[in-house]
Structure 1
């Protein structure tokens, strides 16, 4: 598999429904990470997020909501156009070598139509980072113009399969939780989980749990490292995987 494709796959680790908090970036602050989207705090009490990988263009907007008792609330809307990325994963390199399916994650026999997906997420956050901050989220996603996409064209890999399942099933439900706490002046630890429910698809669920140690070197540099545990049901059966998770973020 080409190195670029591996990076493309790892970009999904923090994409879509990573369980972030209901807090928004402050106005005009910008952040981006190696494996996370570009984010920017807006003037109107909202936060804009753009996927840096142009082969999988996506745009999301997070907005503040009214407090619910002691919970800070936010909502997030996201739209994604996956067609260029999925076509790229069919890999023309294999065709040049005489085997169209060599180095490809999706066989060239399948047609990839022009599709769109839309996601809506609600997030609630309670507590402070110093004493422990808990965030809960629930989300739904739908996809359009997927009727020409074969159910056999799935990418049956951890992390990837549940995030693309909406295009094969037209619908997906997600939930998540995150616990963040400061343990010293510059170190934090984060524990979160994400659950994907895919009713009607060959793989019906996926569960992801990660633990990270986060180092805030300054307001400009943030390094996190830890693991991600994935367990789920795929078209070929259930499996579990343990993967390293590292990310370097920059802000200004």
Structure 2
């Protein structure tokens, strides 16, 4: 089973190779640029990050003082030139959460940032531990106090008008109190809750976004999850969407997301449509 997880991580590595090759070529071109141009670019890092709208899962930060909120996505705020704060408002009252993105400037043409996410999912899990409609956990199982901690390193490179982002992270979920929690064997949910009944989840991702024509653009990503110590369990997700940036104040996306994952009982393939509307001000 360990071989299966390494096989999927190998698939992610293969997907990264063309992107890294392109990045290396772009990096070579930058080395040939004059020192004056390099100095100008280094001095303009902060300005480069400013004015960007709906940068999402990249290493770029929202403009200082800018708010963004999605229909299903997080509420983001540009706290400073190096920090961005985000919360998921739809989940906040049943699963209090917060995320901090910290920018670390540029390294070799790559924007570098780290994200730190804190979630207290216990109220939501206890709400779902019931019989009947809305119950996905056994009502007779004790749900402990859980704190989910997730950290991720992200790097983003500008390739013309397109953005290539790579991410590598880990999630742990310390528990306090009696625990009879069982796994939530549902697509898209299992990978994000596995650390709550295991001990850790490893995450690797590749993300691309850019224009197609006019205000129409795209986003696409591949994400891999691995669970050390959980035999036969893994997940690979891939998503893509068309994106319409009407202005700095509104963005709409329509696409799909698919999952191929191994659960304790076997493997499953699932695909769902996705929709997102986001506003910025």
Q: Where on the TM-score scale, by shorter chain, does this alignment land: which range?
A: 0.7 to 0.9
Higher-helix-fraction structure: 2
Question: Does structure 1 residue 162 correspond to structure 2 residue 191?
Answer: yes
Deviation at 1:101, TM superposition (A): 4.9
Instruction: Report the secondary structure of 1:65's partner residue.
Output: strand
Instruction: Please show how residues 58-97 of structure 1 align to structure 2 within 5 Å.
Output: 58-91=97-130
With over 3 angstroms needed to count, the CA separation of the structure-2 counterparts of 1:168 and 1:202, relative to structure 1, is: farther
Q: State the match for 1:8 in structure 2.
A: none
Q: State the match for 2:158 in structure 1.
A: 127
With over 3 angstroms needed to count, the CA separation of the structure-2 counterparts of 1:173 and 1:182, relative to structure 1, is: same
Deviation at 1:66, TM superposition (A): 3.5
Q: State the match for 1:136 in structure 2.
A: 166
Q: State the match for 1:116 in structure 2.
A: 147
Q: State the match for 1:10 in structure 2.
A: none
Deviating 4+ runs (over 6 angstroms): none
User: Whose radius of gyration is greater, 1 or 2?
Assistant: 2
1:232 aligned to which of 233, 243, 261: 261
Instruction: Please show how residues 38-77 of structure 1 align to structure 2 within 5 Å.
Output: 38-52=75-89, 53=91, 54-77=93-116
TM-score under structure 2 normalisation? Answer: 0.76
RMSD, aligned CA: 1.7
Instruction: Please show how residues 209-224 of structure 1 align to structure 2 within 5 Å.
Output: 209-224=238-253
Is the 8 Å Cα contact of residues 47 and 61 (structure 1) preserved in structure 2? yes
TM-score under structure 1 normalisation? Answer: 0.84
With over 3 angstroms needed to count, the CA separation of the structure-2 counterparts of 1:89 and 1:67, relative to structure 1, is: same
Is the 8 Å Cα contact of residues 207 and 232 (structure 1) preserved in structure 2? yes
Q: State the match for 1:181 in structure 2.
A: 210
* Inter-partner Cα distance in structure 2 for 1:236 and 1:150: 19
* Inter-partner Cα distance in structure 1 for 2:276 and 2:231: 31
Is the 8 Å Cα contact of residues 49 and 61 (structure 1) preserved in structure 2? yes
In the comparison of the two structures, how many residue pairs are matched? 224
Deviation at 1:235, TM superposition (A): 1.9
What residue ranges of structure 1 are gaps of 5+ in the alignment? 1-18, 92-99
Cα displacement string for residues 147-198 of structure 1 (whole angstroms, at most 9, x for unaligned residues): 73335x2221101011001101121110101111211221111110111111
What residue ranges of structure 2 are gaps of 5+ in the alignment? 1-55
